[in-house]
Amino acid sequence: MDIASPNASAAPQPSAVDANPIVVALDVPKLVDAVALAEQLRGKVGWFKVGLELFAAHGPEAVTAIRPYGPIFLDVKLHDIPTTVERAASRLSELGIGLMTVHAGGGPAMVGAAVRGFGDGGRILGVTVLTSTSDEELAQLGTAPAEEQVPRLARLAVDAGAPGLVCAPRDVARVRAEVGAEVLLVTPGVRPAGSGDDDHARAATPAEAMAAGADLLVIGRPITRASDPGAAADAILATL
């Protein structure tokens, strides 16, 4: 497959919340496989998520190769000193990304630096507590349970300027109550009924997540490992 798509110059412009709330996680190691999935899912999902695995393997090329097929959510979860994060966010914004993650746990100065560096071309999302992290693990870290820690980090990130947040589906209602209706809430750990939780400790179905107040749903394996990814995406959208 020719990864350098001839349509690359006609990349879709990132939008805020599309009518289609599905963000498909292209968590595959090979760019050729990610592009093949993007081709099958063009028009069937609202966003394509490029995560650490794909970005570590292929760098900015992973974004430019996928961008012709839909808006890009770059999930790299930046967490470093504010100056480094601001500079990194500025460079990454040049790739035409609509959404990008930073860890809210990096503190308000770091989150604010990310927002400044990223500029007005897209939205910074503050990651609260990873969906794979249980309350038992939070206790081992000396941290409050998710029901306390997630809203606390959500408020911190929003007050620092982040226009969006990432939180587990079961935390969405508490976060929405904490930050209000204008903040974009993106929820990973979304699994259709009967598909299992994989490595997410606080998962929920797409319909449950949307009912709780989510704006965008990050879904990976139930779509990308299906025999027909496009049909799988259509089936999930039909439940919403």
Question: Each residue of 48-99: pLDDT tens digit?
Answer: 999 999 999 999 999 999 999 999 999 999 999 999 999 999 999 999 999 9
How many domains in the chain? 1
Closest CA to 21 of 222, 203, 184: 184
Residue with tokens 């704006």: 215
Asked, for residue 90, whether it belongs to a domain, the answer is yes
- Which segments of the chain are extended strands (E)? 22-25, 47-51, 72-78, 99-103, 123-127, 164-166, 184-187, 216-219
Quick one: pLDDT at residue 15?
A: 44
Q: Would residue 7 count as lying in a domain? A: no
Domain that holds residue 214: 78-238
d(CA 128, CA 202): 13
- Evaluate whether residue 13 is within a structural domain: no
User: Whole-angstrom Cα distance, residue 58 to residue 60?
Assistant: 7
pLDDT at 201 over 80: no
Q: For residue 194, what pLDDT is reported?
A: 52
What is the rounded average pLDDT for all residues in the chain? 89
Q: What is the largest CA-CA distance in the chain?
A: 51
Determine the residue type at 57: A
In tens, the pLDDT along 109-155 reads 999 999 999 999 899 999 999 888 888 999 999 999 989 999 999 99
pTM of the model: 0.87
Structure tokens at 128: 């609260």
Instruction: Specify if 147 maps to a domain.
Output: yes
Determine the pLDDT at residue 204: 80
Question: Token pair 């919340």 is at which residue?
Answer: 17
Encode pLDDT of 165-197 as tens digits.
999 888 999 999 999 999 999 999 887 865 544
Query: Does 13 score more than 50 pLDDT?
Result: no
Looking at residue 10, its pLDDT comes to 38
77 catalytic per annotation: yes
**What is the CATH number for 222?**
3.20.20.70
Residues 6+ apart with CB under 8 A from 22: 44, 45, 46, 47, 206, 216, 217, 219, 223, 233, 236, 237
Q: In this structure, what is the dihedral angle of CA atoms 136, 133, 187, 185, given to the nearest 10 degrees?
A: 70
In a domain, 59, yes or no: no
DSSP 70: S
The answer to whether position 14 is within a domain reads no
CA distance 31 to 2: 11
**Has residue 129 been placed in a domain?**
yes
| Cα dihedral sign, 224-226-231-235 | negative
Give which of 229, 237, 233 is closest to 28, Cα–Cα: 229
Q: Residue 91: inside a domain, yes or no?
A: yes
